[in-house]
Structure 1
Amino acid sequence: MFSVLPLFLFLLLSLPHPCLATSVSLAWDPSPDTDIAGYRVYYQANSSGLPFQGTGAAEGNAPVDGGTLTVASISGLDPANSYYFAVTAYNSAGTESVYSNIVQVPETLPPLVSVTSPAENTPVATNLVICAAAADNVGIAKVQFLVNGAQVHETSAAPYTYTWNAAALPAGSYAISARAVDLSGNEAVSKAVNVSVVGDAISPTVSLAVPPSDAKVGGTISVSASASDNLGVSRLELSIDGTLLLSSNQNPVSYVWNTASFANGTHVISVRAYDAAGNSGVASATVLVDNGTGQTDSTPPPASTSTSTSTATSPLTLADAQFALQIASGQQGPTLDQMQRLDVAPYVNGQPQPNGKVDTGDVVVILAKLTGKL
């Protein structure tokens, strides 16, 4: 008697062919029956409902007779459709087995994608908004933006846009394209649009406002600086004697310098500005510090080992409170001398108890001392 045990079907390969037709290669386990006359391949588009009654394949409508072979290819299928396949066996009397397991082949139609903006040969100096259009019969899963073939951004939300920052790139031609991936995993890459990056070789110009070089300064002084650039300033850094004290993305910047932590004599204040391309410009000024301690050279005095001693010889001022607040908020970092001077909290039994950091507690103690509450 002919067996009705189901066969097991495998999908070997599914490929889109020229002219957007799809070919599917199948294989299955042979039937254990000795009286096998052949096998039939059933297919159907977009539905797994039985019986399969597919049409349109180059091999004919379902079922397709495969003879006694256990492999078959079904070609000429519409790549916009998802197809379901099953196999049966039949004997010399024409008796046919039940369907094998069902194999699904997703649609293979690639999406349509294009770069809609910018136009070919657009010049780029800083930022460029890139726009892409994508469409697919089953839906777009994601769009990836490519520059010279390398992915720079990915989005799943329409409209598909990306702001490309080209300010730091060297001058030259760059190819912009978009890759779309549909919900079935099919993908396509658009035609590239070539743009011309101008490049930036111009350094920022820095303006530094400090007391005149021939003026003596003491206590606290205000230092301010600003910068200009053809494409924009990204960062300003202020240093005294080569030590970085302030780094900010604000323009202009101001800084309250407590000269009491520095030796009498000449000191160099410098401000360096950077643009997005990494170009930098600098301005410097030399000032003469005279805090009245008798020192006239620029060699720093030995570091104080006691916060209370430093505080006693140089009383805390409102500028110290402002400086401590800048440190506590992360706007700048203190030197060793400044740490020893401003680290006065917690304040216990009339004495500072330094805890190795300058924070808002130190600001509160300094203000309390200035107002006579400590």
Structure 2
Amino acid sequence: MNRSLKKIFVGLAVLITASLQATLSHGVLAPNVSSLGTISDRISTPVRVATDLLGNIYLSDPRAGGILKFSTQGKFLAQFNTAATPQGLAVTVTGDLVVGQGTFVAVLSSTGTEKFRLGKGVGQFRMANGIAVDQTGRIFVADSLDNCIQVFGADGSPLTIAAAAAGKPANSFGTFGSASGQFSQPTGVAFEMVSGNLAVTDTLNGRVEFFTPDGVFVKTVGAAGSGNGKFTAPEGISFSYGASGVLMYVVDAFQSNIQVLDPSSGAFVRVIGGYGTGSGRLTVPTDAVFDSFDPHNTRLVVANDTGNLTLYGVELPAAPANTGGPTLSIDPLPVATNLTALNLTGQVAAGATVKVTVNSGAALAPVASPSATSWSDAVSNLAAGNNIFTVTATDSAGRSTTVTATVLVLPPSGGAPVTPITVDALPSLVSTPLLALHGTVPPGSTVLVNGNAALVNGGSWTYQAALTEGANSLLVTASNPAYSLATTGVSVVLDSIAPDLMVSMLPTGSTTSVQRFPISGTVTDTSTTSVQVVVNGGTPVTVPVIAGSFSTAAVLTLGANTVGVTAVDAAGNASPTAVANVNLAPSAPVVTFATADGTTVATNSIDVAGAASPGSAVTVNGVAATVTGGRWSANVPLTPGLNNLVATATLGDVNSSTKVGINYNPSAPPLAVALPGQNAVVLGGQSQQIGINGAVAAGTTVSATINGAPVPIYQKPDGSFGLAFTVPTGQFGTYTVTVTAVDAAGNETTSVRELTVADPTPPAVTVESTSPLKVSVGGGAILSVRDKNGPVGNVLVYGDTASVDLTGVSYDPATLDITAVTPGGSSSRNGILVPVQVPGQTWSPGVPTVADALESLKITAGLRPAGINEKLHGDLAPLVNGVPMPDGKIDIKDTVATMMRVLGLW
């Protein structure tokens, strides 16, 4: 190799490779949070908050003089006055209220009548604060002034703790100090069901400590200070249990926010709230409870010192993506029951092995397989409290999938065994208001559903339930003279409202020169997980909806096309179909956006830019763009929400359009994912790294997933970020890339894009003649022929072969662009100048090597001319969002573009 050429070539390689270097840090999957408003009726000084099994909300309010009770919808129901100023509050599984009142804690019935007091009553505590009840009914009370946790049985009797410190009550653990296991004003307590440990907010030490129920110190999460994972005055704590694991919510009164953390690792996840009086803001919050009464609309209820309960909708993260594991599901189970046995059932992929475990001492029978694709497991000796079942399916290749389900078991009331009753499996989500319930009971039994009599016929019962929109709790009770009362409850959600679908795509009447038709949009419906895309009446393609957004690309055929997009929610409600009738004309002008599709901005206008075939006039949503050479730019006004920006290039009497979707949200953190372009096609082949980068405002936290699995992400102080993931050899297909930005106030923006890794085998372009020029391509590839003035010649299609004959056709040879693209997205503009593999070099069909880049450099340096075939493959630059925009010659820009392809950068 010429020495000068070698230096230039090595320099190019170093510069391009340097763009890949970064130290990646792991992002943490965060829940989506939205403000749901407040509950303020009769609330004066909210302190502690709790919920019961029926979804009712209880609040201790000292100025009100007792406990306030609200329905799950926030309607005031009752007030229970207390003997002294109320503070700590918890609800037992039987519905009793445990209320701290200074130096004593009283247990009240569900109607507010005092039943008994813990321990000796008055004087048992110096200052009873946070209260928690575990699965066995044990009661834990934080004594803020005595710096310890006292433990009692369900009957109120003190339970001796071996870890009790000298000078402290025998039923306590902890003492004053800052060492592990010590306290400086413990306030909030909560029982974490999966680990079985008790979490305590150690307020003046600025941390959360975990203990076994016997008072043995386990670990510390957090540290004193301000910022992520640090606390100034932690006072309340709660936990959520989702498909992806347990999350911990810590209320910091001084910082006026709630930090979400992973309790197993202590990793910071996100912030909720922040100081202020506006929507979703907090002022000296004191407590929070995670409300999962409606499993489809889980929420966080926060005691806010501004005189209200502030509500946040919390969409828990989905389970980690099923990376090849078998399909697995659990049929709906009772939300709460006093039965001691039940049958777990579900569906599973054929050939997979199912294993069931439970966190309680319940007995599990061997898993049965009623059919090749179903499983069941009989469970007995259910323990009182929450029974968390973990079900794992493993296929013959060792790949596994895990799902969980929780059943709350009410403690038995004693006496005769409960009436044996079954409730046939019910859907958890329906779209029609009438629901038929069925089951079995012993003959002679009486069955009530929410107090209404069911029809009992021998050993069977039926009931027609009329549902209301939203969550419906159905309490089924069965009585029989030979047994005691049986109780079981189920939750069914009625969703009869169609999803609200907003689509960004080219409008009807548009012409495009690109076969891949970009589609993106938003869906307002929490139960909608996908949309259906249909092209020309073909088979519907399912596209995932992530955090309310989706993105894909449909493949068009030559000429007229009809594209339809429909959102269908989990209940079966379908949105009106968005339809676009568009025309594919490959030789029409090329027009692209450099502005990232799916960008979110906080301003009411945006500067957009892109490229177009030289000589084209460009408009964006009717606004004339400034065009310089092959580049254009424009400023376009925006309206709140999703804006569909359509750029149209006109060259002579032919036009072509493309689009981007821009979200205008003044309160959301700005987010732009620059590379790869929306619905980009990356040619696969050998194992390679694919880079993704973008930018957010400084101080914004970014996380990302690929097909639902969290991936490491690198973020610089200025807000720019990047990540890379490896595509194994031959792993072609579609990858859903999700990037989420969360600002310091907890506001969130998500961008979703589809990345296709295509078979790199290029279309077989044949130059049948150079003078006159005749070119053909097979395999169903699309052939486009244009120059600076627009389309050139007539492309003829016979079967899967396209050809063009330029005999007698006038065109500009310097700007002639002939490009073929396979239906999978592999282009003849691939940088390959050496048609055979060079010995000793790794090579894949359709992917250039160092030898190709060297040949391009020789042409650039004038050492030899470029042939027609080489121009068809090696004229790449400029690249716009990874799309070649050939300019009729091979120069240094094409050499750089070829090297970038060698390195897998486009």
Same fold, TM exceeding 0.5? no
Task: Name whichever structure is richer in helix by fraction.
Answer: 1
Normalised by the size of structure 1, how large is the TM-score? 0.44
Larger Rg: 1
